[in-house]
Amino acid sequence: MPFSAEQEEVYEREIKPAIEATGLAAVRIDQLVALGPLISTLWQYIQDARCIVADLSGKNANVFYELGLAHAIGKPTVILSQSVEDVPFDLQHMRIIRYDRTLSEPGVLQRRVTQAVKEIVKQGTESLATSAAGVRRRRRSKAKSKSPAELVRSAEEAYKAGRTAEAIDLIGKARDDYSALGDKNGIAATLLNLGSLYQQTGDYRNALNVLQQSLEILKELGDPRGEAAAYANLGNVFEAQADTERAEEFYQRALVISERLGDEASVALNLANLGTLMVQRGEYEKSEAYYARSLALSERLGNRLEIARMHSNLGTLRLYQRRIDEAEELFRRALQYYEELGMSADVSRTFHNLASVMREKGDLNAANSYLKRSLEIKQKLGDQAGSAATIANLGSVAASRGNLDEALSFYLDAVRINQQSGNYYGLAQTYFATSRVLQAAGQTEQAVEMLKRADEIARVSAPALHMKITELLHELRPASAAE
């Protein structure tokens, strides 16, 4: 980290206690006892460290150099920064813990660093156990094993049939086999598939990890088409985590490469991604323009799946624009395509969208029915993030009916799933929804506590939601104090 009075306070108050809370010792570079040239001592400490915490605030050249050494030998790293602008673009696809330089929220940075380091320690332990188990499996069944290409085909069939966990396992085996063969193209392709599957199930930590590995290999191979796919997938993960700035940056990067290659299918996909991102930001005119270009390309190519997804995307846009009947028609068109194509995951999402339409129309029974059908499919698929969102919506329907105890039960289930999967944006939304139910039940102090938890997360990941939380906190705190 850069050394200054300000950074000294960050280290002593937040970073050092965070590391020590995991059972590891915090060793700072300026505190090393050099027995020879400093660079030799530094290099030895980097090699010996369990993991590296690097604060890129201020674009300090020494920090970049030391982080580069750590990355060169594959040392696990936790990257911090006060601003994403201080992070070089080639590192922005990695998990970055951003924090307020004033430390106005004591303990927030500490908790996030502790969690990140614990994950690294856990991953290291699990990878050793997995490697040993993998060696035993290969010894027992080497003669019976499928080729990597056959494993990938089996994974595609499993995913289409809704067996996502099986698909992840098969793709993982294919990646291991490609690694054993030294086939870097195969490794990169399977990592891309794994990243997409992890993202769809809400496992964002693993999604970012494997997509980062894939991107590095694709750059090394000089494969621009694959690089564009990796950027698009990384954009999907950041969008799911409500990091819209980085999502847009990666989508635009993918779009530029795809346009240069003349890859119209990829261009259409990235235009659709940007359109969805603009919907989240409330920039509906931009969204409409992106969607129109994407749909025209997909229709020209005769890509039925992408046409279906564009109908679904446009349905969401119409829902935000309060054009409810148009939204319903678009969702039903998309559903027909998805059912004909056998796309279980997309069918489940469309049921969820139709439930939103029914709620807007005041038909809570139909909304509840669509949500239950959506949840049944998502649970079969192992889609944690999607299941949590649907369970939370079942809670909202119960709250609309006045069944507050039932609503709280649904919300607590959604909180548990979001915590397990690391879906912080979903967690913040669920905390916020729970606070509204607690407020309606007259439990003001508990509602304030839930809002504080939501605020801690949304302050970084969801500015629009953070504004709503702040408004409700101002409304509830005087009442809480009066009680």
pLDDT at 124 (0 to 100): 59
Read off the CATH number of the domain in which 471 is found: 1.25.40.10
Residues 439-454: tens digit of each pLDDT: 888 888 888 888 888 8
- Looking at the predicted structure, is the pLDDT value of residue 33 above 60? no
Considering only CA atoms, give the Rg of the chain: 24
Q: What are the percentages of helix, strand and coil residues in the chain, rounded to 5?
A: 80, 0, 20
Model pTM score: 0.58
**Residue 431: CB partners within 8 Å, gap ≥ 6?**
415, 450, 451, 453, 454, 457
Answer whether residue 482 is part of any domain: yes
Q: Do 115 and 81 sit in the same domain of this protein?
A: yes
Could you tell me which residue, 37 or 235, shows the higher pLDDT? 235
Confirm whether 290 is domain-assigned. Answer: no
pLDDT band (50, 70, 90) for residue 123: low
Per DSSP bridges, beta strands 77-81 and 96-98 are: parallel
Q: Identify whether residues 409 and 370 lie together within a single domain.
A: no
Residue 19's nearest CA partner among 6, 31, 10 is 10
pLDDT at 271 over 90: yes
Q: Are 96 and 153 members of one domain?
A: no
- Residue 268, in any domain of the structure: no
pLDDT band at 136; cut points 50, 70, 90:
very low
Phi, psi angles (nearest 5°) of residue 176: -60, -40
Same domain, 164 and 256: yes
Tokens 């920090």 locate to: 63
Confidence of residue 480 (pLDDT cuts 50, 70, 90): very low
118 and 151 belong to one structural domain: no
Domain that residue 52 falls in: 5-123
Give a yes or no: residue 43 inside a domain.
yes
User: Considering its fold, how many domains does the chain have in total?
Assistant: 4
74 dihedral zone (left: phi>0; alpha: psi -120 to 50; beta)? left
Quick: pLDDT tens for 56-79.
Answer: 988 888 899 889 888 888 888 999
Backbone angles phi, psi at 96, to 5 degrees: -115, 130
pLDDT for 382 equals 77
Report whether pLDDT(27) > 90: no
